[in-house]
Amino acid sequence: MLAMNHYNLSGPPGALNPLSNFSQWDTEMVEMESLAHQGNLTSDKPMSGGPIAAALSMTLGVISNIVALFILANAYSHQRRRSKATFLLFASSLVLTDFFGHIIPGALVLRLYLSGGVFPEAVAASSNGSTDPMCQFLGGSMVFFGLCPLFLGCAMAAERCLGVTQPLLHSSLVTTTRTKLSLSGIWLVALCVALLPCFQLGSYTYQHPNSWCFIKVLANDTQEADVAFVTLFSGLGLTSLGVALVCNTISGLTLVLARLRRRPSGYSSSHSHRSVAKSHDIEMVVQLVGIMVTSCICWSPLLIFGLMSVMRSYRGSIDKADMATYETLNLMGVRLASWNQILDPWVYILLRRAVLRKIYLITKRQADLKGSVLRRWEGNSFQSKSSENNPVNRI
C-alpha cells in the first residue's frame, strides 16, 4: 500500500475528536480512494503472486538456454560442414541473446516486484518526460532484446534460403568472418534503435500495472516522435517476420521439390554424401520454421497492439474504457513475448535430427504394433468365418 504510506493518521493525544475532525478524516479518505483509482496503489493487485511467477519464469528460461547452449557448443565443436557450422553459429548467438534478454529485464522486473512496485511520483515523472534511469534502461533492454531475436531469425532464414537454392553462391559468399560481422551488425542496429530515446526520438514510460517499462504507446500527450518510434520498432519486427516467412517457404518448397524429383538409383558414395547434406538441410529448415512460428505467435500481438495503441492515442480517439482494454492487451502481449526467449531454446533442442529420428522410430514401432494386432485379429476373424461356412464343420 504505497499511497497509504504518505498519510500519517497518528497524532498527539486528543487530536482526533470524532466530531470536530470528521470532515478532515473524510477528506483524507476521499483523497486515498482517488489515488487508488488513478492506479497509484501499484502493489495490491499486480504484486500478488508476482515474485513467484517471475522467479519461476526466470529459472525456466535460464535452464532452457543453458541446456541449448551446451548442446550447440558440443555440436559446433564436432561439425565439419561449413554451412552447418554457420547455422550453428547463428543459433548459438540467438540462444545467447535470449539468455541475456531473459536475465537482464527479468531481474529488473523481479526487483520491482520485490520492492513493492513503483512510487506514484516516479510514474508521474516518467509520463511527463522526466528521465528515470531504471525505466530507461529497462525499456531499452526490452527493445534491444526484442529486436535481436527477430533480426537473427530473419538472417538465419535468408542464409538457409541462399544455401538451399544457390549452394555454389552460398559457399563463395558465406564465411565464418562474414557471419561474425553480420552478427555484430545485427546487434549494433538493434542497439541504435534502443538508444533513440536518448536523442529525443520517442520515450520509455512505465506501463500498466507499473511493473515494466516500454515505449510510450498510451498517453494523453503522445507526440509525433513517439508514433515514429513505435512505428519503427513494430515495422522492423513485422518486416523481419515477413522476410523469414518468405525465405523459409522458398527453402521448404525447394527441398520438397528436390525430394520428389529424386529417382531411385544405384548406391554410391556421392549419393550417400548428397543424402547426408539434404538431411542436414531439412533439419535446419525445420528448426527455422519452428523458430519463425514461435516468434510470430509470441511477438506479433505486442507489435500489432503497440502500433494500434499509439495510433489511437495520437489521434485522441481513445476513451477510458478503450484505454483499459489497450492496457490489458499490451500487458498480455509483453507476457507472451517473454515466452519467446523460453521457447526458442526448446525449438532447437526438440527439433534436432537425433530427437526427430527417435520420435519417428517410436511412432513407427507403435504403428507396426497396432498393425500386427489388427492383422492377427483379421486373420482369426477370417478363419472363424471360413470354418462356419464349411459344410463339414456345420455337420
Whether 90 has a pLDDT exceeding 80, the answer reads yes
Q: Average pLDDT in the 224-249 region? A: 93
Asked if residue 149 has pLDDT above 50, the reply is yes
DSSP code of residue 202: S
In angstroms, what is the C-alpha Rg of the chain?
A: 30
- Mean pLDDT over 270-286 rounds to 65
Query: Model's pTM, two decimal places?
Result: 0.75
The CATH number assigned to the domain with range 50-261+279-369 reads: 1.20.1070.10
Handedness of CA 76, 252, 289, 169 (dihedral sign): positive
Percent above pLDDT 90 for the chain: 25
User: Is residue 17 over pLDDT 50?
Assistant: no
Q: Does the structure show a pLDDT above 80 at 387?
A: no
Average pLDDT rounded to a whole number, residues 201-229: 84
pLDDT at 241 over 80: yes
Query: Minimum mean pLDDT among 178-182, 220-224, 298-302, 319-323: which range?
Result: 319-323
Question: What pLDDT, in 10s, does the model give residues 153-192?
Answer: 999 999 999 988 998 898 888 888 999 999 999 999 999 9
Alpha carbons 51 and 172: distance in angstroms, whole number? 51
Q: Is the pLDDT of residue 384 over 80?
A: no
Question: How confident is the model at residue 188, as a pLDDT?
Answer: 97
CA distance 296 to 309: 19
Give SS3 for 12.
Answer: coil
Does position 282 have pLDDT exceeding 90, yes or no?
Answer: no
Specify the residue for cell string 482517488.
34
Phi, psi (deg, nearest 5) at residue 207: -110, 155
Query: In the chain, what percentage of residues exceed pLDDT 70?
Result: 70
| Domain locations along the chain | 50-261+279-369
- CA distance linking residue 56 with residue 24, whole number of Å: 46
Q: Which of 50-54, 81-85, 237-241, 289-293 has the weakest average pLDDT?
A: 50-54
User: What's the pLDDT at 76?
Assistant: 79
pLDDT at 238: 95
- Helices 340-350/133-165 angle, 10° precision: 30
> Per mean pLDDT, which range of 273-282, 327-336, 364-373 is the poorest?
273-282
The predicted structure's pLDDT at residue 80: 63
Over range 114-130, report the average pLDDT: 57
Helical residues (DSSP H) of the chain, grouped into ranges: 22-37, 50-77, 82-114, 120-127, 133-165, 167-173, 176-194, 224-261, 269-315, 320-338, 340-350, 353-389, 391-394
Structure-model confidence comparison of residues 149 and 2, the more confident one: 149
**What integer pLDDT is reported at residue 14 of this predicted model?**
40
Q: How far apart are the first and last CA of the chain?
A: 93
Give the total residue count for the chain: 395
- C-alpha distances (whole Å) from 52 to each of 44, 113, 266 are 15, 10, 61
Residue pLDDT, tens place only, 19-71:
343 333 343 333 433 433 343 434 344 444 456 777 788 888 889 899 999 98
Nearest of 86, 94, 264, 77 to residue 180 by alpha carbon? 86
As a whole number of angstroms, the distance between CA 223 and CA 202 comes to 8
Place of cell 477510458: 320
